Amino acid sequence: MKVLIIGGGGVVGQKLGKALAARGELRGAPISRLVLADMAEAPVFDAPFPVETATCDISDPASMERVIDADTDVIFLLAAVVSAQAEEDFDLGYRINVDGTKNVLERCRALGTKPVVVFTSSIAVFGGEVPQPFTDHSALNPQISYGAQKAIGEILLNDYSRRGFVDGRGFRLPTISIRPGKPNRAASGFMSSIFREPLQGQSANCPVDRDFPHFYLSPRKCVENLIKGAELEQAALGKCPSMTMPGRVWTIGQMVDAMTAVAGPEPASRITWEPQPELAAILEGWRMDIRPEKALQLGLEADESFEDNIRYFLEDDIQR
């Protein structure tokens, strides 16, 4: 069982690799080799099997020829340009997120080996006037180019799967919180930073009210779900292998209260609550009620409580 993580140097890719190392097997077979492919050399870690790195660019078909070979059984396709960047650089977003995804699928088609391809879409595919809650049967109506590119990726994955070129499964990731690492400039950054920074002794600003509802998942559960997603039988996916990954709708207030329940009152006191008028319109579009019914039926899971998300962060990621 040879596993390839494209985007293996990213936040989800690294955690997924380590989870695979801890498990040692996938789809009932021992993992014989794990390749972490990314733009730059990805960090490696200990595992009961060889962990290799490869540099690649999914927007370059030749690079995909080098990285995906006839022995590759399972591909996690995580490489992407994220939302703010795709909105800023229109051509780059389409080149990486659409042409890049197609290059991966085309390489699999050329090989004829029908590998399992796990694609990471996003809830940014939802929006506009489509009535909530958003279910697996709701129209994809993205209101940012990143969401449009992910929606196209899903349709490509579904069609390549139907044609038998890959055994694809796509999961719309909820907003991952608490995301480890440095604060970033993405509009969604506050959704992690209002917990991460205060828990690490720093302050952070929240630009929305306590009653703001959104759809969240912890990094730990995300990785567990990607592994479960890879293990599903193709027949169980029915006539649409792309679906929303489980998550839960929490309000910011519930999440802050969960932090207080787990870590005491101090972290919450480090949050400032200043509206950011320049973000208001975008954030209004993120008041999302989402029902991930299909994936729940297939055995994927959300966090039980946001207290869990806080505990996972303290166990897995906190930097002191």
Ligand X SMILES: NC(=O)c1ccc[n+]([C@@H]2O[C@H](COP(=O)([O-])OP(=O)(O)OC[C@H]3O[C@@H](n4cnc5c(N)ncnc54)[C@H](O)[C@@H]3O)[C@@H](O)[C@H]2O)c1
- C-alpha span between 107 and 172 (Å, rounded): 23
CB of 172 to a copy of itself, least distance (A): 12
The item of ligand X, a copy of itself, none sharing an interface with residue 173, based on CB under 5 to 8 Å by kind, is: ligand X
| Helix residue ranges, H only, 24-119 | 61-67, 83-88, 90-93, 101-111
The item of ligand X, a copy of itself, none sharing an interface with residue 229, based on CB under 5 to 8 Å by kind, is: none
Tokens 């959104």 label which residue?
214
Interaction of residue 138 with a copy of itself, rule CB under 8 A: yes
Surface-to-core class of residue 180, CB atoms within 10 Å of its CB (0-12 exposed, 13-18 middle, 19+ buried): middle
Indicate if the alpha-carbon torsion angle 58, 61, 67, 73 is positive or negative: positive
Piece of 51-59, 85-93, 200-208, 230-238 that binds ligand X (CB under 6 A): 51-59
What positions carry a catalytic annotation? 146
- C-alpha span between 42 and 20 (Å, rounded): 16
Interaction of residue 140 with a copy of itself, rule CB under 8 A: yes
Distances (CA, A) of 179 to 2, 21, 195, 264, 308: 28, 21, 9, 20, 14
As beta bridge partners, residue 249 has 215
- C-alpha span between 48 and 8 (Å, rounded): 18
Rank residues 261 and 318 by Cβ distance to ligand X and give the closer one.
318
Interaction of residue 159 with a copy of itself, rule CB under 8 A: yes
| Element containing residue 22 per DSSP (H, E) | helix 11-23
In the DSSP assignment, the letter for residue 305 is -
Interaction of residue 167 with ligand X, rule CB under 6 A: no
Selected from 79, 118, 206, 295, the binder of ligand X by CB under 6 A is 79
CB of 78 to a copy of itself, least distance (A): 21
CB of 274 to ligand X, least distance (A): 23
Selected from 129, 233, 278, 315, the binder of a copy of itself by CB under 8 A is 129
CB of 6 to ligand X, least distance (A): 6
CB of 141 to a copy of itself, least distance (A): 5
Interaction of residue 112 with a copy of itself, rule CB under 8 A: no
Selected from 157, 176, 206, 232, the binder of ligand X by CB under 6 A is 176
Two tokens at 23? 């498990």
